[in-house]
Structure 1
Amino acid sequence: MDQKIFQLAASVPVMLFGAPGIGKTAAVTQFAQDIGADLIDIRLSTETPSSFEGKDYICPHSGHLKKARAWWLQRIDENKQKDLPTILFFDEYTNAPDALQQLAYSPFHERRLRGQSFDYRLSDNRPGLYVFGAGNRVEDETGAREMVYASKTRVFTVDYEVSATEWLIWAEKNNINAKIRAFIYANPDALLEKPATGTACPREWANLSAAIALGIPYQEAAHGTIRGANERKFCAFYKDSTLCPTIEEIVEGRAKRVSSVHLASFTVVLAAALSENAQVTTCFPIVYQWIAEQSAECEILFAKYAIELLAEKLLSSQTCLHVLNSAAKKMGMYVK
C-alpha cells in the first residue's frame, strides 16, 4: 500500500476493508513502528459503551456523578505529554454492534468525544494523531455490516488485498516454513479462501508455520489452524514433499527414484529449495537432468517453476541458460 495513504490518516480517517487475517492490523502496526508511534488498538466489537466512553463514578468530594476519562483517551494524553505520535486504530469496526459504531462515530470521523477534540500536533509541528479503521466486507462472510453512507463519505477507503506473490515475499522475510511457501506458490488460491470453502487466510498459514516450527506434527498443526479443504490438500502435499530427495542427494548421486509422490509437490518443493540455494547455478543443471529422467510430465512441471522462480538467478550462467532455453522451448517459450 502506498505510504502516502498512511500519512493521509493524520488528517482523514483511513478505513481498510479486507478479508479476515489478510494483514490489515499488521500493516497499521508496521506503520506505527516506522514512525515511532504508540498504537492504540481498539477492538470495537469487544468494547462496551462504558469501557469505550469511560465508566460513571461518584466523586468522593462533591458526591456528584461523573464519567471517568476513557482508557484510550488517557493513552493519548500521555503520548501528548511525552511528545509521542499516536495511532488510533478502530479495529473490527464493521463487526461491532450498531450502538458501538454510533459511539465511535465522532471519535473516528471527527477526533472528538462528547464535543471535546483530542487531536494534537508534536512540538516540531508534525501530526501527533493518525486515525485508522479496519473491517470486513459483507461478502467476507464474517457477519460484518455495511458502513452507513454518511460514514463512507468521511473516510478514505482502501480495499486491502494481498496477492500470493506479495505474501510469499513477506513469508520468506519472516521465515515462514519452506513447504508452506511452496504449497502456496503451487496453490495461490488457497491463501484467500472464504469460510464457506475453507478458513485458510494469511494469518492462519503463519500460525501453521509457527506450530510446525515448535515440533507439532503437521497433521495436528494443520487441523488446529487451516482446517477445511485446504487442510486435506496441504497434508497430502506435506507428506509427498517429505519423500522428495534433497538437492544434496541429487547432486551427490544418492537420490533414489520416487514413484509415489504427486508431481506438483515433487517439482515445486525442489524448485523452491533451489531458489534459496547459494550454489544454485552449480546445482540446477544436475537437478534438472535428474528430474527430467523421472518423467516427461515431471520435467515440464519443473521447467515451469524453474522459469518462474529461478530464471533471474540463472541468467549469469551459460550452462544454466542453455538448460532454461531447452526447457522453455518445450513449453513454447524463450528465455533471453
Structure 2
Amino acid sequence: MQATITVTPAQLPELLLHVAVVRPVFLWGAPGIGKSSLVRDFAASLGLECVTLLGTQLAPEDLIGVPELVDGRSRFAPPESIARDEPYCLFLDELNASAPEVQKAFYSLILDRRIGTYELPEGSVVIGAGNRATDNALARPMASALVNRLIHIHLRASADDWLTWAAKNGIHPWVVDYLVQRPDHLWSPPPKTEEPFSSPRAWHMLSDVLHSYGDDLADETLATLAFGTVGAAHASAFRAYVKTVRHAYDLEAVLKGEAPWPRRPEERDLLYFLAEAFRARLVKELPADRRRASRSGRDLGFRAKTLLVELAEISLECAQLVIANDAHGAPALPAWFLVEVGRDVPRLMAARS
C-alpha cells in the first residue's frame, strides 16, 4: 500500500487516542522504525495491557479456538490470550504477513470485535501493524475485505522524534551526537540483498553493544559492530566520526581554521566524513536567497569557498561531493552559492598555485 500522507512517531499517540478507541487501526511502516514499541506505549498510556499476536506465527484455530461441548451442543472456545474479562489492547503485529486463512479469521474480530460468542470487553482497542511490500519484508496482499475493515495510518521515521526519545533512554552519546549531525542517516530503504540497513532499531542495537564494550573498544571492533548493524555507507561514516571524537578533530575546528583537512592516506575515511558533514552544514545554514542572508550566513559562504579550494587540493572527489546534486538530481545548495563557487574557486586555486 502506498502512502499518501504520513505521520511521525510524535504525532501518532494523539491520532490513536481519537481513532483507535472507536475503530480498528492498521499501522504501515518500514521495518525497525518502532511500530511495535509505539503501540505498547500507547496501550500503557491508556492503562491497558497490550496483548500481541504475531500473524506469522498463527493458525486459524489460534484465533477461533477449538470446539467444546456445552449442554450437549458444540461451540468454539476462544483462546485464553484473547478471551479476557477486562478491556485491553489487542495488537495484531505482522497482520499482513499472515496466511490468507488467518487473515480471514481476523475479520469478525476486527470489524465486530467478536470471536464466536466472545466479545471484546468495552473499552478494548484493536491495532494492527505491518511492513509494506516495497520494504522487501515478508508481506502478503491484504484482501479488500480486510483493507476495508481498518483505518490505515502510514508511519515514517523522524530523526527529531527519535533523538528526543534517545536523550531520555540512555542511547550511547556517540550514536546521538552522530545522528544530530547526520539525521538523514537514521533510516535507509531496506536493500534487496541480505545485508544490514539503517533504522532506529539498528541504531538502538548499535548503542547497546557500544555500552557493553565501553568507549575504549578497538577501531576494528567498532567497525565490526557498525558494519554488522547499520548500512555500509553509514557504518563507514560513523566509524570516521568516532575518530574525530577520539582525536578531538571535528568540522567546527576546520571551519574556524583551528585544524586543516586531514591529508594522510589512512585518514581518507575521516576526510570523507568531514566533507559530508561540511555539505550537511552548508545545506542547513546557507540561506536560499543571498540578499536575506545574515552576517553569519554570508561569512559561512565566504569561508566555504576557501575550504572547498583546500579540500580540492587533497581530494577533488571530496570537493565535488560537497557541491553535488541531491539524490533526485536537483541542486542541494543554494543557486547563488553555486554561482559564486563557479566564479571564485578557479581564481582562488590559481592564487594558491
Give the structure-1-normalised TM-score.
0.66
2:152 corresponds to? 157
2:63 corresponds to? 52
Alpha-carbon distance in 2 for matches of 1:163, 1:67: 44
Within a 5 Å distance, the mapping from 1:1-336 to structure 2 comes to 1-2=11-12, 3-55=14-66, 68-74=77-83, 76-77=84-85, 80=86, 85-120=87-122, 128-184=123-179, 185-186=181-182, 188-189=184-185, 191-196=187-192, 198-215=196-213, 217-226=221-230, 228-245=232-249, 259-260=262-263, 261=267, 262-263=270-271, 265-266=273-274, 326-327=299-300
Tell me by how many angstroms 1:113 deviates: 0.4
Letter in 2 for 1:207: M
Q: 1:325 to 1:256 in 2, by over 3 A?
A: closer
Q: 1:176 to 1:265 in 2, by over 3 A?
A: farther
Alpha-carbon distance in 1 for matches of 2:21, 2:208: 35
Name the stretch that deviates more: 46-55 or 129-138.
Answer: 46-55
Tell me by how many angstroms 1:129 deviates: 0.7
Name the stretch that deviates more: 188-197 or 95-104.
Answer: 188-197
Tell me by how many angstroms 1:70 deviates: 0.7
Tell me by how many angstroms 1:165 deviates: 3.2
Name the stretch that deviates more: 255-264 or 17-26.
Answer: 255-264
Tell me by how many angstroms 1:11 deviates: 1.7
Tell me by how many angstroms 1:323 deviates: 5.4
Tell me by how many angstroms 1:191 deviates: 1.1
Tell me by how many angstroms 1:172 deviates: 2.9
Question: 1:238-286: CA deviations, max 9, x gaps?
Answer: 3454333489xx8xxxx876725535645898xxxxxxxxxxxxxxxxx
Q: 1:66 to 1:219 in 2, by over 3 A?
A: farther
Alpha-carbon distance in 2 for matches of 1:238, 1:152: 46
- C-alpha contact 1:137 1:146 (8 A) present in aligned 2: no
Question: 1:73-127: CA deviations, max 9, x gaps?
Answer: 23x32xx2xxxx411110111111112111122112221102542241xxxxxxx
Percent sequence identity over aligned pairs: 25
Alpha-carbon distance in 1 for matches of 2:272, 2:170: 22
Tell me by how many angstroms 1:307 deviates: 8.0
Letter in 1 for 2:78: R
Alpha-carbon distance in 1 for matches of 2:205, 2:271: 27
- C-alpha contact 2:63 2:78 (8 A) present in aligned 1: no
- C-alpha contact 2:262 2:271 (8 A) present in aligned 1: no
Aligned residues: 271
- C-alpha contact 1:171 1:181 (8 A) present in aligned 2: yes
Alpha-carbon distance in 2 for matches of 1:246, 1:107: 56
Alpha-carbon distance in 2 for matches of 1:6, 1:140: 28
Alpha-carbon distance in 1 for matches of 2:224, 2:302: 43
Secondary structure of 1:212's counterpart equals helix
Name the stretch that deviates more: 206-215 or 222-231.
Answer: 222-231
Q: 1:301 to 1:103 in 2, by over 3 A?
A: closer
Letter in 1 for 2:197: T
Q: 1:6 to 1:195 in 2, by over 3 A?
A: farther
Tell me by how many angstroms 1:67 deviates: 5.0
Tell me by how many angstroms 1:33 deviates: 1.8
- C-alpha contact 1:87 1:130 (8 A) present in aligned 2: yes
- C-alpha contact 1:54 1:71 (8 A) present in aligned 2: no
Q: 1:267 to 1:322 in 2, by over 3 A?
A: farther
Alpha-carbon distance in 1 for matches of 2:228, 2:72: 53
Secondary structure of 2:89's counterpart equals strand
Secondary structure of 1:143's counterpart equals coil
- C-alpha contact 1:244 1:258 (8 A) present in aligned 2: no
Name stretches of at least 5 consecutive residues in structure 1 with no aligned partner: 121-127, 270-297, 309-320
Alpha-carbon distance in 1 for matches of 2:140, 2:204: 27
Alpha-carbon distance in 1 for matches of 2:73, 2:107: 28
Q: 1:53 to 1:238 in 2, by over 3 A?
A: farther
RMSD between superposed Cα atoms in Å: 3.7
